[in-house]
């Protein structure tokens, strides 16, 4: 366990303990424990890759804040904030990050756009991700509670090269979605095109 950090940068008006109390109320216990592990994993990666630790903590804690909201809440936000109508074709898997970031902003008071973008991108990735967004995307995928074929490889590659981890996850997710005939959000394809061919050689050697 990484030592708990004390918030000093005012990314939100809540302190860490208050934020955690809000998350515990918003989430079922298993999801709450997941966000605590994502926070710790994000902090660890942030240390290695020279990303702001406090931003990694806030992003890790808040990334699934909206996961348990009913569909109506997301549809209301999509309409009220005039977000892309294309979003209405998807569901919670896509909404909880892309639309959930708006709830993180309005209800938890996180105003920092880099943190909000990292939350928006945490499920699908994006063609351009800041190091913070890459850290969150990977922390969510490799936190110690994750157990699926390939997770050890993902941990190893992420430790060796953050971008290679991003490419590995993106390839695995796209493969999983296609194999299971699931709808692919266009941004997921953009992420694939931006990251996977770039790491073609490394991915091949590490298949
Ligand atoms: O919220 P978590 O479970 O912690 O993790 P997450 O937000 O990364 O969500 C992972 C799920 O999202 C995983 O089952 C694959 C799914 N997903 C990722 N990209 C897409 C997607 N689902 C659809 N339908 N389309 C996508 O493009
Ligand atoms: Fe999520
Ligand atoms: Fe998550």
Mean pLDDT, residues 88-105: 97
Return the best residue to mutate from 98, 123, 141 for the ligand 1 pocket (most ligand atoms within 8 A of CB): 123
Establish whether residue 79 lines the binding site of ligand 1, counting it when its CB lies within 6 angstroms of any ligand atom.
no
Q: Per-residue pLDDT tens for 71-94?
A: 999 999 999 999 999 999 999 999
Rounded distance from Cα 35 to ligand 3 centre (Å): 6
Q: Per-residue pLDDT tens for 140-199?
A: 999 999 999 999 999 999 999 999 999 999 999 999 999 999 999 999 999 999 999 999
- Taking the C-alpha atoms of residue 124 and residue 137, their distance in angstroms, rounded to an integer, is 8
Establish whether residue 122 lines the binding site of ligand 1, counting it when its CB lies within 6 angstroms of any ligand atom.
yes
Establish whether residue 191 lines the binding site of ligand 1, counting it when its CB lies within 6 angstroms of any ligand atom.
no
Which residue do the tokens 């918003």 mark? Answer: 26
Residue 139 tokens, joined: 């922390």
Answer yes or no: are the C-beta atoms of 144 and 41 closer than 8 Å: yes
Orientation angle between helical segments 16-26 and 53-62, nearest 10 degrees: 20
Establish whether residue 39 lines the binding site of ligand 1, counting it when its CB lies within 6 angstroms of any ligand atom.
no
Rounded distance from Cα 96 to ligand 3 centre (Å): 10
Establish whether residue 184 lines the binding site of ligand 1, counting it when its CB lies within 6 angstroms of any ligand atom.
yes
């Amino acid at each position: 366990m990484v030592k708990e950090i004390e918030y000093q940068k005012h990314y939100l008006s809540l302190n860490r303990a208050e934020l955690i109390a809000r998350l515990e109320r918003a989430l079922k216990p298993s999801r709450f424990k997941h966000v605590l592990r994502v926070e710790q994993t994000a902090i660890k990666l942030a240390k290695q890759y020279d990303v702001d630790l406090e931003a990694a903590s806030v992003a890790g804690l808040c990334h699934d804040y909206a996961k348990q909201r009913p569909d109506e809440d997301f549809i209301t936000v999509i309409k009220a904030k005039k977000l892309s109508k294309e979003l209405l074709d998807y569901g919670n898997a896509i909404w909880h990050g892309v639309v959930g970031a708006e709830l993180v902003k309005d209800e938890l008071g996180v105003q920092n756009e880099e943190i909000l973008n990292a939350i928006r991108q945490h499920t699908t990735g994006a063609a351009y991700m800041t190091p913070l967004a890459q850290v969150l995307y990977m922390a969510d995928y490799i936190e110690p509670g994750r157990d699926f074929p390939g997770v050890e490889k993902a941990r190893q590659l992420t430790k060796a090269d953050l971008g290679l981890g991003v490419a590995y996850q993106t390839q695995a997710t796209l493969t999983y979605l296609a194999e299971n005939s699931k709808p692919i959000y266009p941004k997921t394809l953009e992420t694939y095109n931006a990251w996977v061919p770039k790491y073609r050689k490394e991915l091949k050697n590490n298949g």
